Structure 1
Amino acid sequence: MVQHLCVTLVPLFNYLSEDEQIEINQLARHQQFKKNEIIFKPGDEKLDIVARGSMKVYQLSPNGKEQLLRVVEPGSYEGENQLFGIKNETLFGEALETTEICSLSKQAFDQVMLRNPQIALKLFELSMQKMIQVEKQAQILSMERVEERLSNYLLDLSKVANDYQFSLPMKMIDIARYIGTTPETLSRKFRFLEDNRLIKRSGRRIIILNGDGLIDL
């Protein structure tokens, strides 16, 4: 596998000089994972940067059911809390396709922070943004009706895109897990929104036709 300068993909490191980025990249471990391979598990202490492919992050409910939290795309990462000494007790990372990962161990990251202490502040800021996303998901899951969860999920995507036209970032099965339903129910609710002319859908492409209608569901 060709080693990419993964750190150039990550906002956390993109303000560093090229020499500093190369130095950090040399500390990283470069790996390729096949679809469905586990990239990280509870107890791991590392920052995993997605260079190519995609990774889903999930936790298991007490009855063993998978709860999807997010999908990590190229340039994004997972594991920043472990770099600050917070143990990962529940999260798993799994490749959704052939995926290339650059991993920084806690020990390697400590070396980086000693020379670039401002990275710690930047990492904290980005972690807060991720916490906001987790809170949004918790709000969605607290809604009783699936169509209400789906509507709020689509409205959140629209806000991120700053447009009523956007692409779904996940497959249907992953969206179903994200909002706490089944793929079959999700398909029915999408048809419900389309039949009521609230949205238009073509594959992963979504156009919101009536934002107020989605809010009122």
Structure 2
Amino acid sequence: MTVEKQHICAELVPIFNQLDHDSLVKISQITQHQVVAKGTQVFSPLMADRLVILAKGQIKVYQLAATGKEQLLRIMEPGAFEGEKALFTKQETTIYGEALTDSTLCTLSRTAFQELLLTYPTISLSLLEDAADKMTQLEKQANLINIESVESRVATYLLDLMKVTNQTQVMIPMKLKELATFIGTTPETLSRKLKKLEEAGLIERQGRAISILNSENLEDFY
């Protein structure tokens, strides 16, 4: 694979966006590339000594409860990365990653990544910002799951999407099965609650595309 094609991984990742072209090319030269099939386990507690950057596709990031049940944490889109925590500490990670589609990955080993931080210290600041964003997302999810009514959880999630995109037409960034896991319910219950919101004239839905028709009344489900 040519450096030009490899270069795309470094360009996609926000933590590298302050670097110049030559620096991005150097990063690409120490990056390993891999194409994985849908359903492949991309990372786990036993595969934690590398930084995984998603160039193409989707990856679900989850952890396992004591019962063995999956708890979805987030969906990785192109440009997202995971594994930075394990590159700074020997503490075992508890997260898993599974490809939801055929995907293209770029990976950096612990040694390569630590040398990268020494060469480009500004990356460390970007990593801290990203870590803070992930903590904020986890706090939002925890607050969401603690809401007693499933209808309120769905309404809160949709309103949050609207605020992030600043649009009344939003796209749920994951399959409904994953969304159900994310908000702590079942796919069947989620479908019923979405239908109820439709029947109340609060939303219109076509697959994962949602039009929020009445945000003020939707807030009443909090």
TM-score, length of structure 1 as denominator length: 0.96
Q: Is the 8 A contact 2:10 2:16 kept in 1?
A: yes
Partner residue, 1:193: 197
Task: Return the alpha-carbon distance in structure 2 between the equivalents of residues 22 and 80 of structure 1.
Answer: 21
Q: Is the 8 A contact 1:45 1:87 kept in 2?
A: no
Aligned match for 2:113, one of 97, 109, 127: 109
Q: Could you say if the C-alpha distance between residues 61 and 113 of structure 1 is closer, same or farther in structure 2, counting changes exceeding 3 Å? A: same
Q: Is the 8 A contact 1:54 1:72 kept in 2?
A: yes
- 1:53-83 CA-to-partner distances (Å, cap 9, x unmatched) read 1100001111111111100001111122223
Aligned match for 1:4, one of 6, 10, 17: 6
Q: Secondary structure at the match of 2:53?
A: strand
Percent of pairs with identical residues? 48
Q: Tell me if 1:136 matches 2:134.
A: no
Task: Return the alpha-carbon distance in structure 2 between the equivalents of residues 208 and 216 of structure 1.
Answer: 14
Aligned match for 2:188, one of 173, 179, 184: 184
Partner residue, 2:81: 77
Aligned match for 2:34, one of 31, 34, 47: 31
Partner residue, 1:46: 50
Q: Is the 8 A contact 2:61 2:73 kept in 1?
A: yes
Q: Which runs of 5+ in 1 are unaligned?
A: none
Q: Secondary structure at the match of 1:35?
A: coil
Task: Return the alpha-carbon distance in structure 1 between the equivalents of residues 88 and 214 of structure 2.
Answer: 44
Partner residue, 1:15: 18
Q: Is the 8 A contact 1:80 1:127 kept in 2?
A: no
TM-superposed deviation, 1:118: 1.0
- 1:138-166 CA-to-partner distances (Å, cap 9, x unmatched) read 00011111111111111111111011111
Partner residue, 2:60: 56
Q: Secondary structure at the match of 1:12?
A: helix
Task: Return the alpha-carbon distance in structure 2 between the equivalents of residues 160 and 189 of structure 1.
Answer: 22
Aligned match for 1:156, one of 160, 178, 192: 160
Structure 1 residue identity aligned to 2:123: I
Q: Secondary structure at the match of 2:116?
A: helix
Q: Is the 8 A contact 1:49 1:103 kept in 2?
A: yes
Partner residue, 2:69: 65
Q: How many residues of Structure 1 are paired with residues of Structure 2 in the alignment?
A: 217
Task: Return the alpha-carbon distance in structure 2 between the equivalents of residues 83 and 197 of structure 1.
Answer: 49
- 1:156-213 CA-to-partner distances (Å, cap 9, x unmatched) read 1111101111111001101011011111111000001100111111122111111122
Q: Could you say if the C-alpha distance between residues 83 and 150 of structure 1 is closer, same or farther in structure 2, counting changes exceeding 3 Å? A: same
Q: Which runs of 5+ in 2 are unaligned?
A: none
Q: Could you say if the C-alpha distance between residues 159 and 88 of structure 1 is closer, same or farther in structure 2, counting changes exceeding 3 Å? A: farther
